[in-house]
Amino acid sequence: MIENPTGQRISILRFVLIFGVVLLHVPPYVPIAELEPGSFAWIKAFFQHAVFRCSVPVLTVVSGYLLFRSGLDLHYGKLVQKKVRTLLVPFLAFNLPLVAMVVLLQAQAGMSISTQLVPFDWPTMLDAALGLTAPPVNYPLNFLRDLFVLALLAPLLGWLLRRAPWLGLALVLVVALENLDKELVLRTEMLVTFYLGGLAALHRWNLQAWDRFAWPCLALFVAACAFVVETREPNTAWLGMAAPLLVWPAASLLVGTRPGGWLARMSRHSFFLFLTHSVLLVVAWEAYQRLGEPIPYPLFWVATPVLATALLVGVHALGTRHLTGLFDLLLGARTAPRDAVNPPPIGAAESRA
């Protein structure tokens, strides 16, 4: 018997969804409006514009659930201290060196990427380094930037969750749909999904209640993703907000299974994979182009995220074994061994969320 099925489900989802983020970022980016005919283009769009566009919303629900389940929003000093260590430090550690590298390459070699840091411009540099009003150079870390802002807002959201939960949900929906928060939260739907996680935590939702509908939820999610691709729908905020309600019960199909156990154990590598994958993908794409596209692109698209994940999992395993102190600092104290199949109680697990 699985002692903590909720904990195992969270671990499974972390690894699956962060691998999905790696797949999502395999170059080149093709807007869904420019989708070409053919089965491969359709499949690529299905995963990159629909299925794994839901990774961030689902992970945000989990983060909100863990934070409010622990009651950390009631202890603001401890909350800020913890989130500086677990979110801000990794953000800076895995973004600022990349900023310096880009500046050097653009100044010395004339490298051109979407973020142009040479010649120097203060607003552009601050966004590249800190993600103030636009994604940072290490663009996936935009998620950490928004999650840190949401953590700082947690006491206000917690007050709403405890005093007027459904009015609060209506308010955050209006803020998200009308983009009233401007650049405060760059991915505005994260405000809704973070709040949704808080609702589940503070109002003690039965997280297994919909498990009996796991297959219908999975089918509905797949159908919604197919609809996005078929209609070339560029705005998937609605799918992101609905996805956690479908993906969570669907993930119960893996709990207690051998593949599910393996995925849960791999969860300890997921944060490092998230922090580092973008650089590896850019290097792989540059090499692929310079070598004259030596293999068909569909094979490159399938193989690259698998090989990148395997490499980074190996690096993380070696680093946590031989450079424990350094990795513990850079990853926000996430290197301590733990049982991924039966993790600590939810409140204790928050420190690594």
Per-residue pLDDT of 5-21, as tens digits, reads 789 999 999 999 999 99
Q: Are 60 and 21 in contact (CB under 8 A)?
A: no
Which pLDDT does position 28 carry in this prediction? 92
The token pair that represents 243 in the structure block? 């996805």
The token pair that represents 169 in the structure block? 């949900």
Range of the domain at 70: 5-352
Q: How many CB atoms lie within 10 A of CB 337?
A: 7
From the list 165, 205, 187, the residue with the least C-alpha distance to 241 is 187
Query: How far apart are alpha carbons 345 and 339 in whole angstroms?
Result: 11
pLDDT band at 2 (very low <50, low <70, confident <90, very high): low
The token pair that represents 257 in the structure block? 């299974």
The token pair that represents 184 in the structure block? 């405060």
Which pLDDT does position 35 carry in this prediction? 87
Domains identified in the chain, total number: 1
pLDDT band at 335 (very low <50, low <70, confident <90, very high): low
Q: DSSP string spanning 314-347? A: HHHHHHHHH-HHHHHHHTTS--S---SSSPPPHH
pLDDT: which is higher, 297 or 345: 297
Q: Does the pLDDT value for residue 342 go beyond 50? A: no
Q: Does the pLDDT value for residue 339 go beyond 70? A: no
Q: Are 90 and 330 in contact (CB under 8 A)?
A: yes
Query: How far apart are alpha carbons 140 and 186 in whole angstroms?
Result: 12
pLDDT band at 3 (very low <50, low <70, confident <90, very high): low
**Spatial CB neighbours of 182, under 8 Å, sequence gap ≥ 6:** none
What whole-number percentage of the chain has pLDDT above 90? 70
Which pLDDT does position 300 carry in this prediction? 96
H helices of the chain, in order, are 5-24, 39-48, 55-70, 76-83, 89-109, 122-130, 142-152, 154-163, 165-178, 189-202, 214-230, 237-251, 258-266, 270-290, 297-322, 324-330, 346-349
Q: Does the pLDDT value for residue 79 go beyond 80? A: yes
Which pLDDT does position 24 carry in this prediction? 94
Q: Does the pLDDT value for residue 51 go beyond 70? A: yes
CA distances from 49 to 139, 188, 280, 296 (A): 17, 17, 21, 21
Q: Does the pLDDT value for residue 348 go beyond 70? A: no
Q: If residue 52 lies in a helix (H) or strand (E), which one and from where to where?
A: none
pTM to 2 decimal places: 0.90
Query: How far apart are alpha carbons 147 and 251 in whole angstroms?
Result: 23
pLDDT band at 337 (very low <50, low <70, confident <90, very high): very low
H helices of 136-188, in order, are 142-152, 154-163, 165-178
Residue listed under structure tokens 């509908």: 213
Which pLDDT does position 260 carry in this prediction? 95
Which pLDDT does position 350 carry in this prediction? 36
Query: How far apart are alpha carbons 17 and 277 in whole angstroms?
Result: 13
* Residue 138 Rama label (left phi>0; alpha psi -120 to 50; beta): beta
Query: How far apart are alpha carbons 47 and 56 in whole angstroms?
Result: 14
Query: How far apart are alpha carbons 70 and 201 in whole angstroms?
Result: 9
> 158-201, pLDDT tens digit by residue?
999 999 999 999 999 999 988 888 889 998 889 999 999 999 99
From the list 206, 276, 234, the residue with the least C-alpha distance to 18 is 276
> 278-305, pLDDT tens digit by residue?
999 999 998 999 898 889 999 999 999 9
Q: What is the mean pLDDT of residues 84-89?
A: 95
